[in-house]
Structure 1
């Protein structure tokens, strides 16, 4: 058999009607009973597609020709949309994006958790561009592409996309990717600098450069000059996260504020903070409203982090008990409580995926609970939550499937009912879904 005959034949193009959006925001239709997932398409559209990957039960495909467009289709603002993997929904208008996310949440609750909320919360939305205050950017020196590339990975590929700007990053960074790349070109360690973390605070923007070799004095001078020119605080990370240090000793302490609660939270550039400042403020407001706090309440917060919820709650509640698995975050949460004049918060360190059976916070009594877990959810700690006797639980989720799973446990086994659920558009133009749900003890 010749080499030519062994080559795969070109994939046959086909026409499909897009019926819905999958969880990754690709349009899905069916051809001869087989599902076809087509990127950059919307429900109601008729398209010519080209298969990119064939599997027994479904095909993945790219969009070749749009025969009929959805009324919700819009022109992407970013010229790199479709190449850069950072966004998946810029071709859909704001209302369609919210509808997709709300639909995904409700579908997960019904399909996975076998539950429906009594009330669907109105979606939380805010700024749709320049909102992203935390990001991890890849860096790669590629002479054939003109030098250093700085940005997100290409869609469906491990390569860093060649970006001139990013429309969802905070403007001070998103509009300066080219300048940042050209500055890195001048460094002696340009081939030993694989990553930059962005952390935008209310008072400063930090860039944390992962450096595999020590920068020279000339490199440090270049970095300092770039930071001074553009208003960035430059940090270097030669090893793990514990090695992060500011390039300059006069780097300001980073903070963000929640003015409605007279709270200022200090954080380090590698600490977790919510991506979207506007949605975070709305999220805290909604969570506290739904908790229905009063001055006699004892509140338990799990996965408490820096105090994003606990400090505002402490302005009203009699007592707030917090639990977080990362000791460094607990220390900073305690510092934040002291800095804000709050002495009614008890902060504990514990692995909530292997919760201790005898810790004081596991036995109650507790009036209200707030849970804000990572993508893996809070399954391991739900029995302890129920054992506290809490009348009301507010659950903030960053993954609909694990929220749905946990909702099924709370409703089906632990004596709660799902009263409210709805989405928060923390990541506009992406398929990422943040949501909030409220559970009340049956008979409360």
Structure 2
């Protein structure tokens, strides 16, 4: 019985059903008496005995009690915590079927929301499926009944609880193999009950851990963290308050950076970042994504390019190596400052960076009125519809759109095609988050 039903003495109902589809979050979809049921752990094409977890007015949520007829794509999950930990939802589905499911989600969103279809489907981009995650947040909770501190992701069935895991195969290996050690470290601290989360970030040569603490740390705790960092090669940061309060504990001046080489050497850049900055989670996929973006954008020596939602300059700086001018626009002051610093460190003089809230109307400012040959968009989940109310101009011939949410991409594709007269020339998915239902994609729009 799941924890959510532990207060009820009534038996949890079990039913047999056929799984006819996979939902956007990786759960199997069945229909029981005409009502949709989302079944964690079930795959399309299977017949299962399921156990109802929660009932809702229009749908129910369930978990697999027994697989009666297996999908040919079902595999044994590598992680012993699969099904309990909510960090991954698709480890039981083989890699080829995972990426195919993500492409179906993207195609469905294009057709249903944007009423568009790409002229060409790009081959899916895939990379190493394990040890790929270089950025994220781990929850921390001292659990008296277990006599230890748990460090990890939230439980799949009960997000209020932290999953009891000992290691994680999708995290950067330096971190994934030390989850239990980090829990032991926190458990021995005076502030064990006052540390709710640990954020992590890995560069090419260093891994940082950011300890959020709700009360000042004792000298003994600070010494313990420093000793742990030295013993295991972690840079240790403290976060006593908001993001602006993050500061290094050890060493005195850690350096986080990663290199990009989309042109095989000619476009090399190195980006420095702070541990809470947004960077692409999957380093290997970021390199592949960068190469594809450059291929689709086709930057030429005389081009003027606008890069919106530019962050640290992940796309802006490699593009600058090939064009006359590129301007990156981003809403967060800190990221813009560090992007400009990265341009200087890389000897790039033809890249400019500006701060602007791209979810507000910017059509009156200078950069929004200028003619741009090409446009790159890499918005957050909300997409770029606010920007597309006044951009692109008639001079813009080509747009590359990098998306972390297929529904907002599909909506914006409809705007570009139906309102601005572009053609959706190509699109494809990128497996930025293997073993999860997250769909990252890239699309090319041409006049």
TM-score normalised per structure 1:
0.96
Q: Distance between the aligned counterparts of 1:56 and 1:229, measured in 2?
A: 53
Q: Secondary structure at the match of 2:391?
A: helix
Give the count of matched residue pairs: 436
Between stretches 138-147 and 397-406, larger displacement belongs to 138-147
- Equivalent position to 2:426, from 420, 428, 439: 420
Deviations 1:102-154 (A, max 9, x none): 00000001001110000011111001011000010011111211211100010
2:39/2:64 contact within 8 Å kept = yes
Q: Distance between the aligned counterparts of 2:60 and 2:17, measured in 1?
A: 12
2:317 corresponds in structure 1 to 311
2:335 corresponds in structure 1 to 329
1:3 corresponds in structure 2 to none
Residue correspondence of structure 1 range 142-291 to structure 2 within 5 A: 142-157=143-158, 158-259=160-261, 260=264, 261-291=267-297
**Structure 2 unaligned blocks of 5 or more:** 1-6
Between stretches 299-308 and 138-147, larger displacement belongs to 138-147
1:383/1:414 contact within 8 Å kept = no
Residue correspondence of structure 1 range 358-437 to structure 2 within 5 A: 358-387=364-393, 389-437=395-443
1:48/1:67 contact within 8 Å kept = yes
Q: Secondary structure at the match of 1:404?
A: helix
Cα offset, 1:438, TM superposition: 0.8
1:138/1:160 contact within 8 Å kept = yes
Q: Distance between the aligned counterparts of 2:446 and 2:335, measured in 1?
A: 29
Q: Distance between the aligned counterparts of 2:251 and 2:205, measured in 1?
A: 16
Cα offset, 1:29, TM superposition: 1.7
Q: Secondary structure at the match of 2:145?
A: helix
Between stretches 424-433 and 352-361, larger displacement belongs to 352-361
Q: Distance between the aligned counterparts of 1:39 and 1:7, measured in 2?
A: 21
Q: Does 1:113 pair with 2:114? A: yes
2:235/2:251 contact within 8 Å kept = no
Deviations 1:262-289 (A, max 9, x none): 1100000010000000000011110011
Q: 1:387 to 1:37 in 2, by over 3 A?
A: same
Q: Does 1:28 pair with 2:34? A: no
Cα offset, 1:257, TM superposition: 0.4
Q: 1:363 to 1:188 in 2, by over 3 A?
A: same
Cα offset, 1:220, TM superposition: 1.2
2:425/2:445 contact within 8 Å kept = yes
Cα offset, 1:33, TM superposition: 2.2
2:3 corresponds in structure 1 to none
Q: Distance between the aligned counterparts of 1:139 and 1:265, measured in 2?
A: 30
Q: Distance between the aligned counterparts of 2:183 and 2:356, measured in 1?
A: 41
Cα offset, 1:31, TM superposition: 2.4
2:348 corresponds in structure 1 to 342
Q: Secondary structure at the match of 1:164?
A: coil
Cα offset, 1:249, TM superposition: 4.7
Cα offset, 1:248, TM superposition: 2.5
1:92 corresponds in structure 2 to 93
2:304/2:372 contact within 8 Å kept = yes
Q: Secondary structure at the match of 2:438?
A: coil
Q: RMSD in angstroms over aligned alpha carbons?
A: 1.3
2:256/2:272 contact within 8 Å kept = yes
Cα offset, 1:55, TM superposition: 2.4
Q: Distance between the aligned counterparts of 2:237 and 2:76, measured in 1?
A: 37
